[in-house]
A = this chain, B = another copy of it.
Amino acid sequence: MTLKIAILKETAADERRVAMIPSVAQRIAKLGASLVLEQGGGAAATYTDAAYTQAGVTTEADQQKLLGDADIVLAVQPPSVETVKKMKPGSLLVSFIYAKTEPDLVKALRDGKITTFAMELIPRISRAQAMDALSSQAALAGYYAPLLGCVHMQKILPMMTTAVGSLRAARVLVMGLGVAGLQALATAHRLGAVCEGYDVRPETKEEAESVGARFVDTGVDARGAGGYARELTPEEKTKVRAALSQHIAQADLIITTAAVPGKHAPRLIDADQLAAMKEGAVVVDMGAPNGGNCEGTKAGEIIKVGPVTLVGPTNLPSCLAAQASELYAKNIYNLLEQVVHDGVLKPDFTDDVIKGTTLTHDGAITNDVIKQFIESAPAEKVS
């Protein structure tokens, strides 16, 4: 048998990634599948239709034709309800979904009898690391954030010795030392900055030091579940704030990366701390899509707040679309490899990774938390 796999063209504003790239498509074909790209779907990520064709992927301009007989549909951003309605019952969607912000989409997936693998639900366990798209995308975003900061700074990061004396190395503070934060430190360290890293989880100290940064110890331990920090108590927040204020005031560039899944990004820098920063300092707030780690951040904008330039990027992985798509495609390959055997789609829903990743299946929302969130919500007005 041969499975038919469709690759959607992304339509969200500023989304340049594509869910599958030509070289990885060739490997997926070997699982017993034929792949079809929605025409022009890779162009924004530097992958031309010609490159797909050369890799054995056909292209299709008509989305209805593309999806009507597809067994598996691949996407980066949550597809629209209209797109889902073109999919056939029993088919598999692999994509980021972010169910809590997309209740209508989840219902459409449920009602359309679509099996949904939500990439953000991949369990953060060792065995699933090769499928962990949140991590792969965060690594690239983290690399990029300091560069984005650098082009908005009026100072250089490294020490530079010139005929008229030396320029001092800049001070970079990275707040939140997950995958993105550590990569941000690595970039800043490569560029020669004096680096400091901060996280509520004290076990990140060694990781920060491994990429050349000094760890800012605030004396508060906030280890949480799933690799994220738990929320801090008000007392803890006050203690952390006091310890951090001095480091914030000394920084030339700050990258904030703190996230709590499904919640507003935790506040790491308030207006008073911003106002006390150096003239010309820059904050790149990677929490911008979730409300911002910094008070006053405007998602998608670069604004001047007192002495500080406050950068609020909304989709950093898209800025590195070529390689972000490559890693995402490989994440998907590793996931599909688990469920496609000799051209037949056979997910083992007793497998922890598959079970954890599945959002909808066979007319039901299979993730309990999301099910309760969506199906217990007050009924919407029927339009």
> Is there an interface contact between A143 and B160, defined as CB atoms closer than 8 Å?
yes
The residue that A320 contacts in the complex, of B156, B163, B334, with Cβ under 8 A, is B156
Q: Give the shortest distance, in Å, between A334 (CB) and chain B (any CB).
A: 7
Say yes or no for A46: interface residue by CB 8 A criterion.
yes
Q: A163-B132, A163-B135, A191-B187 are in contact. Are A154 and B334 (CB under 8 A)?
A: no
Q: Are B139 and A46 in contact (CB under 8 A)?
A: no
Q: Which of B48, B147, B331, B334 contacts A151 (CB 8 A)?
A: B147
The CA-CA distance from A331 to B322 in the complex, in Å, is 43
- CB pair B280–A322 under 8 Å, yes or no, is yes
Is A361 in the interface zone, CB < 8 Å from B?
no
Known contacts A151-B151, A191-B191, A280-B322: A140-B165 contact under CB 8 Å: no
Given A151-B147, A156-B144, A280-B46, residue A331 in contact with residue B190 (CB < 8 A): no
Mark out the residues of chain A between 330 and 357 whose CB falls within 8 Å of any chain B CB in the assembled complex: 330-331, 334
Q: B136–A164 contact, CB under 8 A?
A: yes
> Do B130 and A323 touch (CB < 8 A)?
no
A163 pairs with B130, CB closer than 8 A: yes
Nearest to A140 among chain B residues (CB) is: B156
A155 interface residue, CB < 8 Å from B? yes
A150: CB under 8 A from chain B? yes
In the complex, are the beta carbons of A323 and B156 less than 8 A apart? yes
- Whether the pair B45, A154 counts as a contact (CB closer than 8 A) is yes
Copies in the complex: 2
- Which of B147, B280, B321, B323 touches A167 (beta carbons < 8 Å)? B323
A148 close to B (CB within 8 Å): yes
Q: Which residue of B lies closest to A43 (CB)?
A: B279
Verify B139–A160 contact, CB threshold 8 A: yes
A123 within 8 A of B: no
Residues of B within 8 A of A48 (CB): 279
CB of A327 closer than 8 Å to a CB of B: yes
In Å, the complex CA distance between A183 and B167 comes to 14
Judged by a CB distance under 8 angstroms, whether A326 is at the interface is yes
Nearest B-chain residue to A331, judged by Cβ: B164
Residues of chain B with a CB closer than 8 A to A16's CB: 154
Chain B contacts of A323 at CB under 8 A? 154-156, 167
Say whether B320 contacts A164, CB under 8 Å.
Answer: no
The residues in A between 128 and 144 inclusive whose CB is less than 8 angstroms from any CB of B are 129-130, 132, 135-136, 139-140, 143-144
14 sample A-B contacts, Cβ–Cβ < 8 Å, listed by A number: A46-B307, A130-B163, A135-B162, A136-B163, A139-B160, A139-B162, A144-B156, A153-B320, A155-B320, A155-B323, A158-B186, A158-B190, A160-B183, A190-B192
Closest 8 CB pairs of A and B: A46-B280, A154-B322, A164-B330, A129-B163, A46-B279, A154-B321, A147-B150, A130-B163
